[in-house]
């Protein structure tokens, strides 16, 4: 947005008096302008094939209801199908996700505020969470009840069957999707770690044992054994891509194969897609996850929303993302004022679903591997015998197949309703860094086909040892370091080594080391390691490193004060 006249300046000056708007006009103008600056894409992205980026999975939306121009919105989103998702003239809707119940009804939990609110879009801190239902996952949804105050909700189900609606600064909990809902607050333990951007816009995924993984707005990874409290931070660095960007709105979800994440670059209007074996260490995939221009309908109608935020996923019984939910707005947020022609809504876009695939070879892939055999499973609406263009398929590491490389099919055979494919292993690209293998190709009618499969020799439930910073003890002139170590993994740990270093002006010096005994999942131990010499009084920059078979599996750094 360019501020062209006195009215624009006066509007900004009025809004900036509110606490959630930057108090310095220059900063606000800079942030507004930044939202229309296109990020430069890496040159290699030009070589991605269809299916190499997440954005290729968005499908045209089936038309539902009537196409109408009698509604709010900038010219780029009018006319449109207002029955997609949830919108009303009286309210601005934002964020939220849906879940399907046992009766086939879809329950959407989303926030809203009056479109007539004096502060326009900037009334979002006063939003309320509502429960809406629909018989079609794409909408329309109809509001049934008001849950309570809150913003940026995300619904998830606990292992004991209860439901949680996270909102900024708290959560609602209930035994039923229909309530009643009780408001509570989480407890957070940073465990001597700090990822910037605060504890807001949290997103959650259930792990295999019913515990929960969470990623905060700043990209820190947290784990809770119950999915409620306490939440324990287990990473010190952000999981996000190491690129220019102002990241927010992460969403994570888990399939039967791996963990997935999408995070939005708020300034650049581009999002990134990441994958993980355990939800703790993440791998960035190339290409856009989404960006403006993805909303099209089967009859060719397009809606060019200015911004897409708060992406959430509707998942099937395998955890696969079948549909993306977005908050969208037709203009820059500061231009959405009270009782004007601008607003925001909740939309739903169907996704190409990854096919079910398993690797049939148990032997680890290496340079001498001749063939790779996989099974593609049949599903309702998908017959692998007839629906796949075999010559289009490529199998291998994502680093290869995303750019058109990988293995080619050399043989196929029918296995009941399923299909077994044999690939020439040449060019597969699989290394020790790969925890899944990827298939990319086309359906018989040209649609995208993709699948991920676990590698049989990879351990997906590794322990996750994590240490706090040391506490300095001094008893009878014997100085020692007391260090808490906890296992946040889902299986027992093996014996490991813990070492403490000091980062000094003369370099990094090892102070002490010791052996970590086997630790059960979620168990914590306290190690007390005597020092050979005293540390001088003052602030010390220490490094705690955990290694297993000479491989670093965890490291934390920070300042520790020595007072004696």
Instruction: Summarize the confidence of residues 367-386 as an average pLDDT.
Output: 97
The predicted pLDDT at position 28 comes to: 42
185-241: pLDDT as tens digits: 999 999 999 887 778 899 999 999 999 999 999 999 999 999 998 999 999 999 999
Beta-strand (E) ranges in 135-292? 142-149, 154-157, 163-167, 170-174, 182-184, 188-189, 203-206, 212-215, 221-224, 231-233, 247-254, 259-265, 270-276, 282-284
Stronger pLDDT, 535 or 26, i.e. the higher one: 535
Strand partners of residue 336? none
- The Cα–Cα gap between 335 and 346 comes to 19
Q: Which domains does the chain have, with CATH numbers?
A: 43-350 (2.115.10.20), 355-454 (2.60.40), 465-562 (2.60.40.10)
| Residues in contact with 445: Cβ distance below 8 Å, sequence separation at least 6, in sequence order | none
Q: What is the overall mean pLDDT for the chain?
A: 92
Minimal CA–CA distance to 376: which of 341, 416, 309, 421?
421
321-334: pLDDT as tens digits: 999 999 999 999 99
Q: Is the pLDDT confidence value at 6 over 80?
A: no
- The Cα–Cα gap between 72 and 125 comes to 23
Confidence of residue 12 (pLDDT cuts 50, 70, 90): very low
Stronger pLDDT, 254 or 265, i.e. the higher one: 254
Q: Is the pLDDT confidence value at 26 over 70?
A: no
140-150: pLDDT as tens digits: 999 999 999 99
The predicted pLDDT at position 507 comes to: 93
> Residue holding tokens 């900037």?
122
The predicted pLDDT at position 267 comes to: 81
463-501: pLDDT as tens digits: 999 999 999 998 878 899 999 999 999 999 999 999 999
Instruction: Summarize the confidence of residues 119-139 as an average pLDDT.
Output: 97
The predicted pLDDT at position 552 comes to: 95
For the whole model, what pTM was predicted?
Answer: 0.92
The predicted pLDDT at position 187 comes to: 96
Instruction: Summarize the confidence of residues 368-390 as an average pLDDT.
Output: 97
SS (H, E, C) 64-97: CCCEECCCCCCHHHCCEECCCCECECCEEEEEEE
Q: Is the pLDDT confidence value at 533 over 90?
A: no
Confidence of residue 38 (pLDDT cuts 50, 70, 90): confident
Q: 80-89, 243-252, 419-428, 487-496: which range is least confident on average?
A: 243-252
Strand partners of residue 169? none
Stronger pLDDT, 365 or 267, i.e. the higher one: 365
Cα 324 versus chain centre, distance: 12
- The Cα–Cα gap between 423 and 412 comes to 9
Confidence of residue 404 (pLDDT cuts 50, 70, 90): very high
Instruction: Specify the DSSP element, H or E, that contains 555.
Output: strand 551-562
Beta-strand (E) ranges in 285-340? 295-296, 302-303, 307-315, 321-329
Is 482 in contact with 470 (CB distance < 8 Å)?
yes
Given CA atoms 541, 547, 552, 554 in this order, what sign does their dihedral have?
negative
Q: Is the pLDDT confidence value at 543 over 60?
A: yes
Q: Is the pLDDT confidence value at 35 over 60?
A: no
Confidence of residue 36 (pLDDT cuts 50, 70, 90): low
Is 262 in contact with 273 (CB distance < 8 Å)?
yes
Neighbouring C-beta atoms of residue 495, cutoff 10 Å: 10
Instruction: Summarize the confidence of residues 171-196 as an average pLDDT.
Output: 95
- The Cα–Cα gap between 329 and 467 comes to 43
The predicted pLDDT at position 316 comes to: 97
The predicted pLDDT at position 40 comes to: 87
């Amino acid at each position: 947005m360019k501020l062209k006249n006195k009215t624009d300046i006066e509007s900004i000056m009025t809004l900036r008096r509110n606490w959630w708007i930057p108090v310095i006009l220059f900063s606000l103008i800079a942030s507004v302008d930044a939202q229309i600056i296109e990020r430069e894409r890496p040159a290699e992205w030009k070589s991605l094939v269809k299916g190499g980026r997440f954005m290729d999975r968005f499908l045209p939306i089936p038309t539902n209801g009537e196409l109408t121009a009698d509604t709010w919105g900038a010219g780029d989103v009018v006319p449109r199908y207002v029955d997609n998702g949830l919108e009303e003239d009286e309210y601005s809707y934002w964020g939220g996700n849906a879940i399907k119940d046992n009766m086939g009804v879809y329950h959407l939990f989303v926030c809203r505020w009056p479109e007539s609110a004096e502060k326009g879009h900037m009334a979002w801190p006063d939003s309320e969470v509502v429960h809406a239902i629909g018989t079609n996952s794409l909408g329309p949804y109809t509001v049934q009840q008001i849950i309570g105050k809150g913003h940026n909700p995300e619904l998830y189900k606990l292992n004991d069957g209860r439901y949680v609606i996270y909102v900024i600064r708290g959560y609602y909990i209930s035994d039923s999707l229909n309530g009643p809902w009780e408001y509570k607050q989480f407890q957070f333990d940073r465990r001597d770690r700090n990822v910037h951007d605060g504890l807001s816009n949290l997103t959650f995924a259930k792990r295999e044992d019913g515990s929960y993984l969470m990623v905060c707005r700043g990209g820190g990874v947290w784990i809770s054994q119950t999915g409620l409290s306490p939440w324990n931070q287990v990473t010190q660095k952000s999981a996000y891509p190491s690129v220019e960007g102002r990241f927010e709105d992460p969403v994570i979800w888990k399939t039967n194969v791996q963990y997935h994440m999408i995070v939005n670059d708020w300034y650049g209007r581009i999002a990134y897609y990441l994958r993980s074996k355990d939800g703790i260490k993440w791998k960035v995939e190339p290409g856009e996850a989404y960006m403006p221009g993805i909303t099209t309908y089967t009859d060719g109608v397009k809606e060019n929303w200015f911004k897409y935020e708060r992406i959430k996923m509707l998942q099937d019984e395998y955890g696969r993302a079948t549909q993306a939910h977005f908050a969208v707005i037709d203009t820059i947020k500061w231009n959405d004022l009270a009782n004007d022609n601008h607003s925001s809504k909740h939309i739903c876009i169907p996704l190409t679903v990854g096919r079910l695939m398993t690797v049939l070879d148990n032997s680890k892939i290496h340079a001498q591997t001749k063939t790779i055999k996989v099974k593609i499973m049949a599903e309702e609406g998908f017959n692998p015998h007839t629906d796949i263009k075999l010559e289009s398929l490529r199998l291998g590491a994502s680093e290869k197949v995303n750019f058109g490389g990988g293995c080619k099919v050399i043989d196929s055979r029918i296995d009941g309703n399923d299909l077994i494919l044999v690939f020439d292993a040449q060019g597969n690209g699989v290394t020790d860094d790969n925890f899944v293998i990827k298939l990319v190709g086309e359906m018989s009618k040209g649609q995208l086909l993709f699948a991920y499969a676990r590698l049989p020799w990879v351990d997906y439930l590794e322990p996750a040892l994590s240490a706090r910073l040391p506490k300095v003890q001094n008893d009878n002139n014997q100085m020692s370091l007391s260090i808490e170590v906890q296992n946040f993994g889902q299986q027992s740990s093996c014996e490991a080594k813990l070492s403490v270093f000091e980062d000094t002006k003369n370099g990094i010096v090892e102070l002490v080391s010791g052996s970590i005994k086997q630790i059960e999942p979620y168990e914590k131990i306290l190690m007390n390691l005597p020092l050979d010499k005293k540390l001088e009084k003052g602030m010390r920059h220490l490094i705690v490193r955990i290694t297993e078979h000479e491989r670093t599996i965890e490291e934390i750094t920070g300042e520790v004060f020595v007072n004696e």
